Amino acid sequence: MRVLVVASEAYPLVKTGGLADVAGALPAALCRLGVDARILLPAYPGVLAKVADPGVAHGLGDILGVGPSRLIEARMPDSGVPVWLLDCPTLFDRPGGPYQRPDGSEHPDNGLRFALLSRVAALLGSGEALANWSADIVHASDWQTGLVPAYLKLAGRQVPRTVFTIHNLHFAGLFGPDFVASAGLPPHAFSIDGVEFNGLVSTLKAGLFYADRLTTVSPTYAWEVTTPEGGRGLDGLLSGRARAGEFSGILNGVDYALWDPAKDPDIAAAYGPDTVAEGKARCKAALQREMGLDERPDAPVLGLVSRFSDQKGIDLVAGAAARLIEAGAQLAVLGSGDWALEQQFLQLSRRYAGSIAMQTAYDEALSHRIQAASDFFLVPSRFEPCGLTQLYALRYGALPIVRRTGGLADTVRDMSDEGTGTGFLFDSPSVEGLLSAFYRALALYARPDALHYARQRAMAQDFGWHRAAEAYVDLYEQTLRG
Ligand code: ADP
């Protein structure tokens, strides 16, 4: 089976969030199951320098009137999975991140940039871009590649079949009606049975409408988005597709080759389930020094690594901070995004110097050190499609304190059952809700034996990619059978 995974980011080439972790790891796991899986990704600046064996470039001409494009063949570092880099200098060779300019504003032509990526995925998948490869399945994700199924279906193509995954329903990919023409879509596609959504084009909705099968990244989120509260106006479409058996939730996996405290080159001391107490103590001391926290071995350290946005409930942590510190805890925070939230945390880190440390960078290695040093890990999201940081936290024995929503509810078991518990869940998206879980965590922290067993249980949880990749292979097979 030949599968083209098309994404706007893929670790380790370019990453802003969980989508990159998945787009990097899933194809590798599919290859291990014997699938011919390949990746298509834009050639952002710097990406070419990171790939292995960059080779032949295939000219594609000027596809959407945006300038010439080429496909550069290469391999992913580490996994060796074949990757095509879409090189279109007018759209992708510029400063900033995949979606934003250096000043944090969106690239003004994001619609066209990702329309081109989607169009090339459709051409590559259907064998029109290269003579020697086509796909049985094209697997696209989120608004950036929602037009892939639209291009294929509107051209009347039954092959390749398409799978579309929602990593986050929050980003609808909205563009004005003129976008229909500039993206090269036929005018009739601008309809409720098409790409239209509240008078605009939504590339996310395009994916939801035209793909043969839909998935999202956890069973609970799959249910939540079919409800008016969670569906953002798309619940009607999604519940219809769920009733037709065309929409399901497959939990993301973790790449344990990268996230394993026993062989993590970024942390101060390696540890496994039997050595977690000593290992964490050393990692904690090292992090306290590194981030400027008071060197108190007995202080429970709470880790937080996150995009700073309303979704993530970071404001709840800010609201609870005074009481967390009063109770003797320390907060190690790494995150960036919303400016006001960043400022709030920088202020807190000044007011509670020694107890709250904040880094606004994007720092992969520091994120590992925070996981390794933390006793508890905070993920108080208002909604969370899957969430990866709580899965990393489990493996690092940092017991997650999470809101009972989406993938958090599916992956963390509450310590109210001490035989099976791996963390602490709370329901109300409020400071009080978060604190109620925190105080329970603190009570556990005071009981070293119970804490030790809970850490060992957390570390033994297996969310490896193998299971998720098998579920995707099953789904691809069903999709091919129609
Ligand atoms: P989302 O994709 O919604 O941001 P996920 O939990 O699915 O949330 O994935 C977030 C990923 O990004 C994780 O791998 C997390 O470790 C990483 N991450 C988030 N913020 C930072 C940061 N400031 N520095 C390093 N890694 C970060």
Q: Which protein residue's CA is at the shortest distance from atom 15 of ligand 1? A: 389
- Does 236 share its domain with 352? no
Q: What's 382's DSSP letter?
A: S
Beta bridge partners of 470: none
Candidate of 218, 305, 362, 382 to mutate for ligand 1, largest count of ligand atoms within 8 Å of Cβ: 305
Residue 414 is predicted with a pLDDT of 98
Q: Which protein residue's CA is at the shortest distance from atom 12 of ligand 1? A: 17
Residue 52 is predicted with a pLDDT of 87
Q: What's 228's DSSP letter?
A: T
Tokens of 386: 């899957």
End-to-end Cα distance, the chain: 15
- Does 470 share its domain with 389? no
Ligand 1 atom showing the smallest separation from residue 168 Cα? 3
Residue 53 is predicted with a pLDDT of 87
Supply the CATH number for residue 449's domain: 3.40.50.2000
Residue 17 CA, ligand 1 centroid: distance in Å: 5
DSSP 163-204: EEEES-TT---EE-TTHHHHTT--GGGSSTTTTEETTEEEHH
Residue 160 is predicted with a pLDDT of 98
Report the alpha-carbon distance of residue 318 to residue 404 in Å, rounded.
19
- Does 368 share its domain with 472? no
In a domain, 115, yes or no: yes
Q: Classify residue 92 by burial, with Cβ atoms within 10 Å: 0-12, 13-18, 19+.
A: buried
Decide whether any atom of ligand 1 lies within 6 Å of the 171 Cβ: no
pTM for the predicted model, two decimal places: 0.95
- Does 416 share its domain with 470? no
Residue 55 CA, ligand 1 centroid: distance in Å: 31
Residue 237 is predicted with a pLDDT of 98
Question: Coil, strand, or helix at residue 158?
Answer: coil
Residue 397 is predicted with a pLDDT of 98
Ligand 1 atom showing the smallest separation from residue 389 Cα? 6
In a domain, 263, yes or no: no
Candidate of 307, 363, 383 to mutate for ligand 1, largest count of ligand atoms within 8 Å of Cβ: 307
- Does 237 share its domain with 347? no
- Does 227 share its domain with 296? no
- Does 323 share its domain with 193? no
- Does 226 share its domain with 94? yes
Residue 383 CA, ligand 1 centroid: distance in Å: 15
Residue 286 is predicted with a pLDDT of 98
In a domain, 30, yes or no: yes
Cα 88 versus chain centre, distance: 25
Tokens of 141: 């994700």
- Does 203 share its domain with 278? no
Residue 124 CA, ligand 1 centroid: distance in Å: 30
- Does 59 share its domain with 110? yes
Number of other CB atoms surrounding residue 180 within 10 Å: 19
In a domain, 259, yes or no: no
Ligand 1 atom showing the smallest separation from residue 16 Cα? 12
In a domain, 265, yes or no: no
In a domain, 411, yes or no: yes
In a domain, 416, yes or no: yes
Q: How much of the chain is in helix, strand and coil states, percent to nearest 5? A: 40, 20, 40
In a domain, 134, yes or no: yes
- Does 470 share its domain with 444? no
Tokens of 353: 């110097």
- Does 243 share its domain with 338? no
Candidate of 254, 308, 389 to mutate for ligand 1, largest count of ligand atoms within 8 Å of Cβ: 389
| Total domains, the chain | 2
Q: By residue range, what is the domain housing residue 59? A: 2-253+465-481
Decide whether any atom of ligand 1 lies within 6 Å of the 367 Cβ: yes
* Residue that the structure tokens 């940081």 belong to: 389
Sequential pLDDT tens for the chain (482 residues): 999 999 999 999 999 988 999 999 999 999 999 999 999 999 999 999 999 889 989 999 999 999 999 999 999 998 999 999 999 999 999 999 999 999 989 999 999 999 999 999 999 999 999 999 999 999 999 999 999 999 999 999 999 999 999 999 999 999 999 999 999 999 999 999 999 999 999 999 999 999 999 999 999 999 999 999 999 999 999 999 999 999 999 999 999 999 999 999 999 999 999 999 999 999 999 999 999 999 999 999 999 999 999 999 999 999 999 999 999 999 999 999 999 999 999 999 999 999 999 999 999 999 999 999 999 999 999 999 999 999 999 999 999 999 999 999 999 999 999 999 999 999 999 999 999 999 999 999 999 999 999 999 999 999 999 999 999 999 999 999 98
Report the alpha-carbon distance of residue 118 to residue 207 in Å, rounded.
11
Tell me the HSE value of 257 on the side-chain side, using a 13 A CA sphere: 10
Candidate of 334, 360, 388 to mutate for ligand 1, largest count of ligand atoms within 8 Å of Cβ: 388
